[in-house]
Amino acid sequence: MLKARYYKHILNFKQASGTSRGILKTKETWFLVLYEGQQWGVGECGILRGLSADDTPEYEEKLAWLCENIHLDKAVLLEELKAYPSIQMGLETAYLSLRSKTHPYELWPSDFTQNEQPININGLIWMGDEAFMKKQIDEKLKEGFHWIKMKIGAI
């Protein structure tokens, strides 16, 4: 019988990080854990306050609803959660994790997960004054990033 629980966790940023809507110092996240017999799987439901489309006062209530109704068909759950894409993603990931044959965290076996081939990612530049942003760009280039992501609309 499938069961579900969620756990709230606060992530603390190493440095205050500027966005178009303010400064972030923490990030709330919830870990959705599915249990079936001795198997378990985990998925992250994470939002950025003031930025995420599903940042609503009833967010945690919707997670509680999901856990109480985890016995429903997956398609029904996803339809009920359509206004909460981060919860949908957490649920999909938890299902993949639960069904993983090798480890609860290996969702898609690949050369990357076998530590045989890296994947290219972008270096994120947080908002700030010009000197701060330039410093971050220089650091990312020295670290070997080929792509840099900057949002400059607010300044």
Report pLDDT for 123: 92
Q: Do 42 and 97 contact (CB within 8 A), yes or no? A: yes
Assign 10 a pLDDT band (cuts: 50, 70, 90): very high
Nearest to 60 by CA among 118, 103, 8: 8
Phi and psi at residue 58, in whole multiples of 5°?
Answer: -95, 15
- Separation of alpha carbons 140 and 134, rounded Å: 10
The chain-wide mean pLDDT, for the chain, equals 90
What angle (nearest 5°) sits at the alpha carbon of residue 152, between those of residues 143 and 135? 35
- Separation of alpha carbons 90 and 30, rounded Å: 9
Report pLDDT for 103: 66
